[in-house]
Structure 1
Amino acid sequence: MKSEEDQSHVDLRNGILYGTLKQIRIGDDTDPEVPKLLPVWVCSIRPKDSKLLISLLKQNCEDDASIKHLKRLTKIGDYIKAIICPFESEHERTEISNTLGNLQYENLEVINVPRNQANTKETTLKWSTIWPLTWKGNPNHQFLNSVIFDIEQERQMVNELLNRLEKVNNRQASVTMMAKEVNGTITIQCVAVNTGECYPSNHSVMRAIDSIAQRESKQRKQGITERGYLCTDMIVYTTHEPCVMCSMALVHSRILRCTYLKPVSPGGGMESSYFLGDLDGLNWKFQIWRWLGESELSKLDNLIDNARAEY
């Protein structure tokens, strides 16, 4: 387990943890010249009312993660302009007015502010001309420094994946395990195998999702459970990078993270092509990791052929 003080296992430059897990994500840390924008509700108040406004917001508005990179208040002339909350619809105006109560405010309106935290201090200053941002360092570096893995448990899961592949005894096979963390222990929920079939619905990832769906259907009939999404909180371990269809299925199933051993170019849907799982504009994102452990990759190479373009 990672110590909060010891960051020696983190390679920020290459996005690698413990020398074994490589983060897969879109592009580099270069910021666009013009940021994507987020509509928010703002109002203007007198400086003397700043503390009262902050108190009202703490009492009545959720601490929304989407605006944490923005400074809540900024001085404009003789007034303070304050972000109240992200904008969803014009119908919120009455509710916001009630939230502000007897506070003396003016110009309750919607403006656009930078949607994301900048990756560099220089870009933070540039985007702050639209609305002041806070600079707390590269957001992905913060993530890598904070993410926690029990690396020995991860290694056990990868070796279990390879053991299942070995038992199949087919050099065209791929294996996917769905797992879930319960009280700090990762437990396998299902195992699916593709013994070489090229039809996409026979890929091991699709078979694993189908297995979870079949179990969910049975439990619903028994009145045991009612999951909103099939694979919420599920951890996926798979021998090969999922293809584009499998990657999108994982997005729609809303998994927690995916770890695979072998990239599959050009058929893979993560690092090999579209970075599905880390792509803006889709309805979900999840962590993507590629396993770098030499002994495990060597065992995989001994168990499979390398000719297939997708799994």
Structure 2
Amino acid sequence: MSAPTYDVVAIGNAIVDVLSQATDAFIVEAGMNKGSMALMFSPEEADALYAKMGPGVEASGGSAANTVAGIAALGGKCGFIGQVASDELGQIFAHDIRSVGIDFTTAARDGEPTTARCLIFVTPDGQRTMNTFLGASQFLPETALDREMIASAAILYLEGYLWDPEEPRAAMRAAIEIARKAGRKVAFTLSDTFCIGRHGADFRDLMAKDLLDIMFANEAELLALMQTDDFDSAVEAASQQVPMLVVTRSEKGAIAVSGGQTVTVAAEPVARVVDTTGAGDLFAAGFLHGQAQDLSVAESLRLGAICAAEIISHYGARAQVDLKALMAEKLGG
């Protein structure tokens, strides 16, 4: 098996995030459920809500894209595969993700729908309320896969959100096969409980068929996947079906279970939680970067915790400090 030329290649929704501060009253008036993610089903609906937003910040986003951006900031070599449209937002996404050093080779898609966008309203308590129009990101075909990139990555990272539409789901299954044939690892994030509600049987099947090496979940997602209300039971059951189980638990830190051994990490202290957008994505970035660099599970968990703490201390899902310098400061070298 040849040495990998990428640390991580991710497949996920190619979304342009638009973040804006909002009051609790605005959330209520707009009919949104605070702290949740809701889908918008037409560009007209997205345009109408966008018009009501205050000043916003635009950046390439999407869960897996946020993760590889974090890994790139840590010094890792990454690629991203995701579908944009031939429009202005598609150009913004492509330019933004390439500007942080990530290889992005997916050709833009002509015609409707437009590039995906996520309108994120951040309230004073740091909670984010997301409204997403998935647009072109739902139409990633298997033919768009950069097979050489996937086969050259130490870890293929898949986003559960993208499992919902049929076309990218088939593409991700094909990507798993490419990675497996190349002798690479496959990591998967469950993304959200609504994904598990729709595709939990599929996810459990991936585990049962030994197609996943690393699975990321938060506490609620793990309970939903394993169909139990007992956290310890869920961990025990899931860890018997996947070589590496990583579970984030907000202020309670995170755990990883591998080879029958459980490793825990405390949450990094944060002066004030400003915005939780991307916390799980950046935790995965730190952990995967550690694994790609052959660090221990404990060291990888610590990297994840440090990255997550940096992200929730400010608005947006991209680091606002030099992550490599932050790691040197926190880890002493």
User: Above 0.5 in TM-score?
Assistant: no
Choose between structure 1 and 2: higher helix proportion: 2
TM-score band w.r.t. shorter chain: under 0.3
TM-score (norm 2): 0.25
